[in-house]
Structure 1
Amino acid sequence: MANSKKLTLFGLIGITMAFFGTVRSVPTLSMTGWTQIFYMLVAAILFALPIALMSAELSTGFPEEGGPQVWVKNALGEKWGFVTSWLLWVQMFFGMVMVASTVGILLGYVIDAHELSSNNYFIFAVILISYWGVTLLNLKFDMVKIAGNWGAIIGVYIPFLFLVVLGVIYMLKHGIQPDNYLGNFKASDLLPDLSNLGSLAYLSGIIFIFAGVEISSVHAKNIENPKRNYPIAVIASVILLVIFNLIAGLTVSNAIPNGKIELANITQPFMIFCQDLGIPTIFVNIISLMIMIGVLVQLSAWVLGPSKSMIKVADEGNLPPFFQKRTSKGIPITFVLIQAIVISLVSVLYIVVPDVNSAFLIITITTTILYCIVYALIAISAIRLRYKMPDMERPFRLGNKGNGLMWFVSLLSLFSVAITLTVSLIPPSILAPSQSTGYIIYQVVATVVMISIALIIYKFKKPSWKLK
């Protein structure tokens, strides 16, 4: 590859930031007040960095497409490779419901009908319309090509920048507000309150900010001098994300009165800042529209992304021939339609759980749990491959010689996954005590069912399923 085509260090930092740049997670962060600093550092150091570094070694060692599924298959065999690709597909069912739910709230602001934003039935209807809408568009057009880069600029970068700037101006004007999430600071506020274990569940929602950190590793082989530049790019991206998210998170914590934050409503802080700083309300409607465009572009990218890697798994004979159907444009039609149907069913949670905040947090945590199981498989595979394929070329390698550093990084990653899974099973303090048992049952059943389906399909697969 000619050097001109190689990614520069700044290029890779930009791409990595684009994967995680989202305004949507700011309210979840803000809800934890001063503790968000601790949670963000834990999420970045224990969770994001180890996974990103292991993924860099694995993706440069296995440059073919397929990512985590290829790594796990080579390390632990075809069955666990299949489970990995399956989990990366099904976590999307929950993740996309959560992302699509913000469309309803934003739409309420765009059309100036704010009471709709907290109406569960309206949000449920908008999830169905927006997800089926982008699904049908993707069957007809290549929406990622049409809406790719400018979607992130309009829907993520500009709103995030405005949120940070307005938040800082508000903080400079008012100082720290006593009746808000940052009020009456005590040093103990920097650490989680262990007497209220329910508050630890927010760590799972904050870790979700970094879910998907392995995706940027696909670019590791295209960067100049990957051994030096890739870790610099990853560490720089994670540090920048921590800084930007914390500035946004802390300024929003300072603006919203205690107990009044709306997790799925990113427009809420914009509303408060604009009213206080005398900016016309039309600005909030415009920002809501921009974020809504960004969310729809993101939904669009997810409609085809995971299903394209799943159809490769189907072609290899892991799923019945019915799953191998493609449209004339090569779109994996069975997967695209199944995911739309399941997402419609999961979104019924917005009708079953009366509080929009609770439904949003529950679904965020389910997505994080499924991601964590994939990350545990990646960590085990990274160390397994050091012994199974010691002579494999690794353009980026953790440690110059020996396996000590890889052991350290993969054990750190497994430790962080264990912590995340533990806090994910603690009912969040936002839920009523009567909902606690239901919450634990839902998370355990959702996880066990999703893994079991993959293992059952694999057990009963037939040689005739393989694409001839």
Structure 2
Amino acid sequence: MFTFIMITSAILVNVRSQPTLAEAGTQMFFYFAVATIGFLLPCVLILSELGSACPYEGGLYVWVKGAFGEKWGFTAIFLQWIQMTILMVMVLSFIAGTILYVFDYGELESKILILVISLVVYWGATLVNLRGLKASGRISTVCVILGVAIPAITIVVAGCAYLLAGNPVQLDLTLTAQNYIPDLSNPANLAILAAFFLPYFGIEGSAAHIENLKNPSRNYPLALIFVVFFCLFVNLLGSFSIAAVVPQSDISLIAGLMQAFEIFFNTFSLSWIVPILAIMVVIGSIGEVSTWIIAPIRGLFRTAKAGTLPLWFQQSNEHGIPRNFVIFQATLVSMFCIIFALIPGVNSAFWMMVALTTHVYLIAYFIMFLTAIKLRYLRSKHTESEFYIPGGERGLYIMCTFGFGSVLIVGIVGMFFLLLTEFVSTLPSPDVTNTIGIWYPVFLIAGMIVIVAIPLLVHRFKKPEWFAAGGFVDPEDGPAEAS
């Protein structure tokens, strides 16, 4: 269970987003409350119920398949996988840039160095994952402790020491509605609200390993609860510490994470700690990369063995890892890294792809919430489990409604407002807005249709011999098939 908690934490928890969240000032408490109640809490309860009912390898794929059949199970896990494949380039770029920052390399814009570091990190993590889940779990555990827990505790302790020493708080804590409740009619505030939802994306990723968890029907909900409190501790207390020490006008979203920490620790005359913290944050991000390498693939591997994908994708090594799938994914990520690093003017196109795949991920969440409703109906007739969302059907519908609402907020804001506000400064390429213009929403809608169509077409034209030669019979087809 400890290893499972570390794997989930490696996926969900990091300190990279703290400066972004701190820039909201005292209004961060409102944003945190809305994001936690509107998205994180529904996800935890829904995932707990789904995991308790169907504690089988594959996670999202198994649940959606049990509710709506193989086609939509494959579609949901494909959407999760493609989003993480594209987003991995951004995380790798962050790791490479931070390493260059630590060693004070004079040419931070050197794309060749960023490319080399990105490829070394990703292929190194890939080779570790090929050695099996135990090796991957150890990497996740070490990375979470060194790269998330210790930096987070350091920031919170430093913030508490700052306040206890009687230093001025760089926040107006006066209890007024204007201080704590933002004007959501302002598109900029809507964009910030969407940013508070994004750190919680991916919480369902570790469910791919649920079958390896002892007594998953009981321990999976407990593991999620622990990770949620850890995530809130890191995000809320860490962001508040930064906001209390660093004036809001000095929290530069463009400058980046390390510059924010540099200002933070210079206040305590502890500038020497910033490079150490930077290395720790890199370690935490490497753990995130390593964990995401195998998580969606386990669901894709299961659907491949059921005959949805060619035989080449159905092969595994002596450790039970789908080696061909892992190598294919590493090659694809490498290709995206090379394109991003070497082709001039590709930055805008890449960030549009990140936005597109994020919206595609919202579709996967929408399917997951529908799955919870469908499986509750099936379970009430055919199965029992150790966890139900409190409040019966009404509680389930309330949580799903919150989830649907959160997905719509992030989707609409991202499509029509996000790149039209000052929050665009969070993107490394400031010329994105000039490039995108009015075609941005059109690109997102058309791109979402194309990406969703890919798994549907693959499923439609799959060949019978893929299943026959694979010889795989899914032992746990889910409540729909079991009934």
TM range (shorter): 0.7 to 0.9
Q: What per-residue deviation string (whole Å, max 9, x for no partner) do you get for residues 231-284 of structure 1?
A: 677556535533441221133235155275246833223211332221252x22
Q: How does 1:85-104 map to 2 (within 5 A)?
A: 85-104=77-96
- Aligned-pair CA distance for 1:416: 1.9
The root-mean-square deviation of aligned C-alpha atoms, in Å, is 3.7
Conserved? CA contact 2:3–2:141, under 8 Å: no
TM (norm. structure 1) is 0.82
Q: What per-residue deviation string (whole Å, max 9, x for no partner) do you get for residues 312-347 of structure 1?
A: 211111112232243455432332233223323444
Q: Does 1:378 align with 2:368?
A: yes
- Aligned-pair CA distance for 1:308: 2.7
1: CA distance between counterparts of 2:359 and 2:314? 28
2: CA distance between counterparts of 1:93 and 1:50? 26
- Sort the Cα spacing of 1:316 and 1:412 in 2 relative to 1 into closer, same or farther, 3 A: same
- Sort the Cα spacing of 1:263 and 1:149 in 2 relative to 1 into closer, same or farther, 3 A: farther
- Sort the Cα spacing of 1:11 and 1:97 in 2 relative to 1 into closer, same or farther, 3 A: closer
Alignment coverage as a number of residue pairs? 451
Q: 1:108 is matched by which residue type in structure 2?
A: L
Conserved? CA contact 1:121–1:350, under 8 Å: yes
1:48 aligns with 40
- Sort the Cα spacing of 1:120 and 1:434 in 2 relative to 1 into closer, same or farther, 3 A: same
1:305 corresponds, among 286, 291, 295, to: 295
- Sort the Cα spacing of 1:52 and 1:112 in 2 relative to 1 into closer, same or farther, 3 A: same
* Partner SS state of residue 34, structure 1: helix
2:479 aligns with none
2:418 aligns with 427
1: CA distance between counterparts of 2:349 and 2:25? 21
Q: 2:85 is matched by which residue type in structure 1?
A: F
1:72 aligns with 64
Q: Does 1:265 align with 2:244?
A: no
* Partner SS state of residue 25, structure 2: coil
Q: 1:55 is matched by which residue type in structure 2?
A: L
1:213 aligns with 203
Q: Does 1:129 align with 2:95?
A: no
2: CA distance between counterparts of 1:148 and 1:234? 16
Q: What per-residue deviation string (whole Å, max 9, x for no partner) do you get for residues 60-115 of structure 1?
A: 111222212111111111111111111121121133222212212220232123x5
1: CA distance between counterparts of 2:222 and 2:315? 42
* Partner SS state of residue 212, structure 1: coil
- Sort the Cα spacing of 1:338 and 1:272 in 2 relative to 1 into closer, same or farther, 3 A: same
2:455 aligns with 454
2:144 aligns with 152
Q: 1:457 is matched by which residue type in structure 2?
A: V
- Sort the Cα spacing of 1:140 and 1:415 in 2 relative to 1 into closer, same or farther, 3 A: closer
Q: How does 1:333-352 map to 2 (within 5 A)?
A: 333-347=323-337, 348-349=339-340
Q: 2:370 is matched by which residue type in structure 1?
A: I
- Sort the Cα spacing of 1:232 and 1:353 in 2 relative to 1 into closer, same or farther, 3 A: farther
Conserved? CA contact 1:56–1:220, under 8 Å: no
Q: What per-residue deviation string (whole Å, max 9, x for no partner) do you get for residues 196-251 of structure 1?
A: 4144233333212212223566499856994xx97677556535533441221133
Q: 1:417 is matched by which residue type in structure 2?
A: V
Q: Does 1:176 align with 2:169?
A: yes
Conserved? CA contact 2:62–2:299, under 8 Å: no
2: CA distance between counterparts of 1:149 and 1:336? 21
Q: 2:232 is matched by which residue type in structure 1?
A: V
- Sort the Cα spacing of 1:18 and 1:85 in 2 relative to 1 into closer, same or farther, 3 A: closer
1:3 aligns with none
- Aligned-pair CA distance for 1:457: 0.7
2: CA distance between counterparts of 1:232 and 1:141? 25
More off after superposition, 358-367 vs 368-377:
358-367
More off after superposition, 419-428 vs 260-269:
260-269
1:38 corresponds, among 10, 30, 33, to: 30
- Sort the Cα spacing of 1:223 and 1:459 in 2 relative to 1 into closer, same or farther, 3 A: closer
2: CA distance between counterparts of 1:161 and 1:257? 22
Q: Does 1:287 align with 2:277?
A: yes
Q: 1:84 is matched by which residue type in structure 2?
A: A
Conserved? CA contact 1:105–1:264, under 8 Å: no
1: CA distance between counterparts of 2:167 and 2:21? 21
Conserved? CA contact 2:25–2:248, under 8 Å: no
2: CA distance between counterparts of 1:261 and 1:197? 19
TM (norm. structure 2) is 0.80
2: CA distance between counterparts of 1:293 and 1:95? 18
Q: 2:178 is matched by which residue type in structure 1?
A: S
Conserved? CA contact 1:98–1:363, under 8 Å: no
- Sort the Cα spacing of 1:224 and 1:418 in 2 relative to 1 into closer, same or farther, 3 A: closer
Conserved? CA contact 2:51–2:216, under 8 Å: no
Conserved? CA contact 1:88–1:306, under 8 Å: yes
- Sort the Cα spacing of 1:72 and 1:436 in 2 relative to 1 into closer, same or farther, 3 A: same
1: CA distance between counterparts of 2:212 and 2:371? 18
2:157 aligns with 165
- Sort the Cα spacing of 1:64 and 1:330 in 2 relative to 1 into closer, same or farther, 3 A: closer
Conserved? CA contact 2:96–2:118, under 8 Å: yes
Q: Which runs of 5+ in 1 are unaligned?
A: 1-6
1: CA distance between counterparts of 2:168 and 2:345? 35
2: CA distance between counterparts of 1:164 and 1:363? 35
- Sort the Cα spacing of 1:57 and 1:366 in 2 relative to 1 into closer, same or farther, 3 A: same
Q: 1:208 is matched by which residue type in structure 2?
A: L
- Aligned-pair CA distance for 1:349: 4.8
